[in-house]
């Protein structure tokens, strides 16, 4: 449980946040300039003129009324800024060990959790964006933090890199059980990770609630356009090289076929990413469709999002809901309404997971822009937030 | 080749220049750090005052030192009462060099400190470093190039110091005569060939100092790219 009641002076105005966050993972969302990064910095103790009260479980970080202000080095927060913030003069190993030099076991566990062994001797300048984020996460974890503050850990990464890093975040959430505040612009990430969303707008709290309930909030729908809405954790169940597919087993044991990904071993954790508009919706059972994956589901809700309608569908076999985006005309033609049974079929090319990072010569330099150019050259689609949204200052 | 006296002058110059550099190192770094972090009023005035020795004629700086350290002045009187003689001794040479080199080191180090991303320092704090530990583990390692360059520059400047030294330490053979003073002296008494030799030695020393630093910086810098 994190309790926040703060005024943070910023240039021009001040950020005022009052919230109690009981969830294991809280997504902090909202338009650029809403104050998301400043909120994390205030919790970390890096905004010295913050007034009010901040408490994490029973530990009071700040209580200006009672004259309590714990120094940042004694708060034990794991802060991962947007650009990873690795120390350029240290190797990856030096970075991970920076905050926890006595506790080698903890360091080793963090290194293993994020698969960092091969990267350890390298300096940040030679790491890709996704690798930097993993090193920064391990560095934060190695300090045994009371809370993790992640500032858009995936924003600088394109879709394929996101799919590689997200499973690590899920793993941290499930195995390390460290509470997280997770700043993101991406609805899919919020749905995949967070139990709660704190929506900021103009340096105030606009709303707080379950991710799906907030989906139609204007602050979210604006940002939701370019994202990947369905991020489904699973494991590689097998490869069918002749058929050109890999079988992924999603939560609830439901199978999904994706384009062949023979480089990932059977059993590896992956994250399937399916855009809401790539989910075909049928009001009757489907036969003879080229799509291999068809799932029985029920419409739980319809939300008008921009010009489209987003359907929230509960799969019969799986715990996490799927989002599908259709036109209002399709809603009318199919007579879609809450409670109605539907059959969902992700387009075959849509269920993707990938190792593309290393196929891309520019990627090793870790520059999102160069990677994007490279991707365009190799003809693969790149969907990420538009560049204008990356920075939050 | 150098005569015995000339070799003594070279050695003496190296010694006092090194001592002066050593003396100002912690002070200049502290001043640079304060200037890099401080954002309040009076910053501009403070910077200007610290840079004054760079633009004043060195003889003027020497005059100020001489006045301050003379027995008539309060500081000089106070020191004399404790048996500490500075004026016209090797200590005055060190002092003159230190004062003249100080602003060079401050300026280089300040620029280097300002280039260290303050967010990295903040991150070091969240990772358990107190302010001092963050300074030694993040700020200094990231700023070391500028600090090193400034230190070498300060040392080279000390090697060639003339105006302030001659004012406050005089030109006493075997006691306060440095390379710069010896060159002037040789020229005055008509030994232009010896003056030229000593000028060559001074240039070689300064060149060696700057060049080895450059090599060192490049080699250490390359390792970080891996």
- The pLDDT assigned to A244 comes to 79
DSSP string over B111-174: HHHHTS-HHHHHHHHHTT--HHHHIIIIIHHHHHHHHHHHHHHHHHHHHT--HHHHHHT---TT
CB A143 within 8 A of CB A98: no
- The stretch B103-107 carries a mean pLDDT of 94
- The pLDDT assigned to A348 comes to 58
Which residue of B126, B141, B225 is in closest CB contact with A77?
B126
Please tell me the distance in Å from B131's CA to the nearest CA on chain A.
Answer: 9
Mutate to test the interface with A, among B39, B122, B124, B126 (most CBs of A within 10 A): B126
Contact A98 B226 (CB under 8 A): no
Given a cut of 80, whether residue B29 has pLDDT beyond it is yes
Q: What is the ipTM of this complex?
A: 0.80
CB A76 within 8 A of CB A24: no
Contact B226 A123 (CB under 8 A): yes
Edge-to-edge strand ranges of the sheet holding A245-250: A255-259, A245-250, A230-240, A269-274
Contact A89 B129 (CB under 8 A): no
- The stretch B63-72 carries a mean pLDDT of 91
Please tell me the distance in Å from B125's CA to the nearest CA on chain A.
Answer: 5
Tokens of A381: 């689609």
- The stretch B126-138 carries a mean pLDDT of 94
* Beta pairing, strands A25-29 & A196-201: parallel
d(CA A372, CA A355): 15
Closest residue of chain A to B138, computed from CA coordinates: A87
CB A325 within 8 A of CB A276: yes
Please tell me the distance in Å from A151's CA to the nearest CA on chain B.
Answer: 13
- The pLDDT assigned to A54 comes to 96
DSSP string over A105-164: HHHHHHHHHTT-GGGTTS-GGGS-HHHHHHHHHHHHHTT--SEEEEESTTTTS-HHHHHH
Contact B128 A143 (CB under 8 A): yes
Beta-carbon pairs below 8 A across chains A and B:
62
d(CA B61, CA B96): 8
B123 Cα distance to chain centroid: 33
Given a cut of 80, whether residue B224 has pLDDT beyond it is no
Contact B224 A89 (CB under 8 A): yes
CB B165 within 8 A of CB B100: no
Whether A100 has its CB under 8 Å from any CB of chain B: the answer is: yes
Q: Give the N- to C-terminal CA distance of chain A in Å, as an integer.
A: 27
Helix axes B140-159, B90-114, angle to 10 degrees: 150
Q: How far is CA B150 from CA A321, B141, B219, in A?
A: 61, 15, 18
| Residue A385, helix vs strand vs coil | coil
Given a cut of 80, whether residue B208 has pLDDT beyond it is yes
- The pLDDT assigned to A290 comes to 61
Closest CA to A151 of A182, A193, A173, A128: A182
Contact B125 A72 (CB under 8 A): yes
Mutate to test the interface with A, among B112, B123, B139 (most CBs of A within 10 A): B123
Q: Which residues of B touch A123 (CB under 8 A)?
A: 224-226
d(CA B39, CA A100): 33
Q: Which residues of B touch A121 (CB under 8 A)?
A: 226
Whether A189 has its CB under 8 Å from any CB of chain B: the answer is: no
- pLDDT tens string, chain A, 393 residues long: the values are 899 999 999 988 899 999 999 989 999 988 778 899 999 999 999 998 999 999 998 899 999 999 999 999 999 999 999 889 999 999 999 999 998 767 788 899 889 888 899 999 999 999 988 899 999 999 999 998 999 999 988 877 777 777 777 888 888 888 888 899 999 887 778 877 888 889 888 899 988 887 766 655 554 544 444 455 677 777 888 888 887 788 888 877 888 887 777 777 788 777 676 778 788 898 888 777 666 678 889 998 887 776 788 888 888 887 777 888 888 888 888 888 888 899 988 875 544 443 333 333 333 333 333 333 333 333 333 333 333 333 443
Contact A46 B226 (CB under 8 A): no
- The pLDDT assigned to B98 comes to 96
Q: Which residues 306-325 of A have a C-beta within 8 angstroms of B?
A: none
Q: What is the dihedral of CA A36, A39, A41, A43, to 10 degrees?
A: -140
Q: How far is CA B225 from CA A123, A132, A365, B201, in A?
A: 6, 14, 11, 37
Q: Which DSSP letter does residue A265 get? A: P
d(CA B6, CA B214): 29
Spatial CB neighbours of A291, under 8 Å, sequence gap ≥ 6: A280, A345, A346, A347, A348
d(CA B28, CA B209): 20
Q: What is the dihedral of CA A167, A171, A172, A176, to 10 degrees?
A: 180
Whether A31 has its CB under 8 Å from any CB of chain B: the answer is: no
Whether A48 has its CB under 8 Å from any CB of chain B: the answer is: no
- The stretch B152-158 carries a mean pLDDT of 93
Contact B128 A125 (CB under 8 A): no
Spatial CB neighbours of B66, under 8 Å, sequence gap ≥ 6: B87, B167, B168
- Which residue ranges form the domains of chain B, and what is each CATH number? 4-225 (1.10.3720.10)
d(CA B5, CA B221): 41
CB A127 within 8 A of CB A366: yes
Q: How far is CA B53 from CA A120, A182, B62, B64, B161, in A?
A: 48, 52, 10, 11, 12
d(CA B139, CA B148): 14
d(CA A323, CA A299): 10
Closest residue of chain A to B141, computed from CA coordinates: A89
Higher-confidence residue: A377 or B131? B131
Which residue of A44, A71, A123 is in closest CB contact with B225?
A123
CB B198 within 8 A of CB B182: yes
Whether A49 has its CB under 8 Å from any CB of chain B: the answer is: no
Please tell me the distance in Å from A196's CA to the nearest CA on chain B.
Answer: 25
A4 Cα distance to chain centroid: 23
Please tell me the distance in Å from A110's CA to the nearest CA on chain B.
Answer: 15
Closest CA to A172 of A141, A150, A195: A141
Neighbours of B162 (CB within 10 A): 19
3-state SS, one letter per residue, for A157-190: CCHHHHHHHHHHHHHHHHHHCCCEEEECCCHHHH
Please tell me the distance in Å from B111's CA to the nearest CA on chain A.
Answer: 18
Helix axes B140-159, B192-223, angle to 10 degrees: 170
Please tell me the distance in Å from B112's CA to the nearest CA on chain A.
Answer: 14
Given a cut of 80, whether residue B203 has pLDDT beyond it is yes
Given a cut of 80, whether residue B214 has pLDDT beyond it is yes
Whether A143 has its CB under 8 Å from any CB of chain B: the answer is: yes
d(CA B121, CA B137): 9
Contact B226 A121 (CB under 8 A): yes
| φ, ψ of residue A237 in degrees (nearest 5) | -100, -20
Helix (H) or strand (E) holding A220: helix A218-224
Q: Which residues of B touch A72 (CB under 8 A)?
A: 122, 125-126
Which residue of A89, A123, A140 is in closest CB contact with B142?
A89
d(CA B215, CA B192): 34
DSSP E strands in A84-146: the ranges are none
Tokens of A358: 């290393």
| φ, ψ of residue A348 in degrees (nearest 5) | -55, -40
- The pLDDT assigned to B43 comes to 85
d(CA B82, CA B62): 23
| φ, ψ of residue B64 in degrees (nearest 5) | -60, -45
Closest residue of chain A to B125, computed from CA coordinates: A73
Higher-confidence residue: A226 or B174? B174
pTM for the full model?
A: 0.71
Q: Which of A113-122, A371-380, B132-141, B204-213 has the lowest mean pLDDT?
A: A371-380
Q: Which residues of A touch B129 (CB under 8 A)?
A: 73, 99
d(CA A92, CA A281): 46
Tokens of A217: 């909030």
Contact B126 A98 (CB under 8 A): no
d(CA B156, CA B135): 27
């Amino acid at each position: 449980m994190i309790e926040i009641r703060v005024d943070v002076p910023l240039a021009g105005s001040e950020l005022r946040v009052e919230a109690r966050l009981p969830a294991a993972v809280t997504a902090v969302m909202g338009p650029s300039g809403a104050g998301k990064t400043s909120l994390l910095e205030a919790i970390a103790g890096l905004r010295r003129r913050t007034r009010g009260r901040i408490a994490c479980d029973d530990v009071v970080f700040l209580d200006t009324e009672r004259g309590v202000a714990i120094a940042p080095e004694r708060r034990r927060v794991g802060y991962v800024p947007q650009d990873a913030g690795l120390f350029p003069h240290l190797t990856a190993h030096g970075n991970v060990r920076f905050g926890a030099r006595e506790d080698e076991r903890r360091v080793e566990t963090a290194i293993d959790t994020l698969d960092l062994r091969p990267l350890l001797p390298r300096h940040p300048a030679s790491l890709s964006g996704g690798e930097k984020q993993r090193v920064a996460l391990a560095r934060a974890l190695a300090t045994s933090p009371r809370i993790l503050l992640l500032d858009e850990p995936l924003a600088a990464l394109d879709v394929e890199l996101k799919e590689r890093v997200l499973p690590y975040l899920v793993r941290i959430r499930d195995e390390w059980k460290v509470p997280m505040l997770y700043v993101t612009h991406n609805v899919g990430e919020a749905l995949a990770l967070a139990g709660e969303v704190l929506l900021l707008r103009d340096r105030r709290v606009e709303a707080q609630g379950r991710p799906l309930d907030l989906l139609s909030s204007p602050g979210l729908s604006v940002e939701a356009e370019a994202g990947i809405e369905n991020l489904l954790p699973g494991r590689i169940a097998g490869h069918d090289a002749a058929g050109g597919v890999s079988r992924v087993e999603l939560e609830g044991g439901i199978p999904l076929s994706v384009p062949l990904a023979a480089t990932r071993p059977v059993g590896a954790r992956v994250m399937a990413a399916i855009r809401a508009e790539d989910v075909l919706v049928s009001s009757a059972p489907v036969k003879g469709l080229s799509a291999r994956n068809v799932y029985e589901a029920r419409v739980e809700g319809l939300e008008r999002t921009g010009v489209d309608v987003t359907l929230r569908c509960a799969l019969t076999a799986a715990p996490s809901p799927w989002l599908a985006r259709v036109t209002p005309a399709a809603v009318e033609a199919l007579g879609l309404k809450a409670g109605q049974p539907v059959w969902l079929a992700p387009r075959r090319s849509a269920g993707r997971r990938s190792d593309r990072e290393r196929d891309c010569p520019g990627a090793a330099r870790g520059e999102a822009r160069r990677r994007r150019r490279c991707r365009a050259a190799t003809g693969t689609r790149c969907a990420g937030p538009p560049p204008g949204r990356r920075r939050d200052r | 080749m150098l005569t015995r006296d000339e070799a003594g002058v070279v050695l003496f110059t190296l010694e006092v220049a090194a001592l002066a550099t050593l003396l100002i190192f912690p002070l200049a770094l502290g001043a640079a750090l304060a200037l890099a972090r401080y954002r309040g009023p009076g910053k501009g005035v403070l910077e200007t005052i610290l840079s004054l020795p760079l633009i004043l004629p060195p003889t003027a700086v020497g005059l100020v030192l001489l006045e301050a350290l003379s027995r008539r002045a309060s500081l000089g009187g106070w020191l004399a009462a404790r048996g500490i003689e500075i004026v016209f001794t090797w200590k005055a040479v060190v002092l003159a060099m230190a004062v003249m080199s100080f602003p060079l080191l401050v300026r280089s180090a300040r620029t280097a400190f300002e280039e260290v991303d303050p967010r990295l320092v903040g991150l070091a704090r969240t990772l358990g470093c107190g302010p001092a530990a963050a300074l030694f583990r993040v700020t200094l390692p990231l700023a070391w190039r500028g600090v090193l360059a400034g230190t070498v520059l300060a040392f080279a400047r000390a090697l060639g110091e003339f105006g302030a030294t001659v004012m406050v330490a005089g030109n006493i053979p075997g006691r306060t005569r440095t390379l710069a003073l010896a060159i002037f002296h040789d020229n005055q008494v008509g030994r232009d060939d010896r003056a030229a030799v000593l000028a060559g030695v001074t240039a070689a020393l300064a060149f060696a100092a700057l060049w080895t630093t450059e090599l060192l910086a490049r080699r250490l810098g390359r390792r970080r790219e891996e």
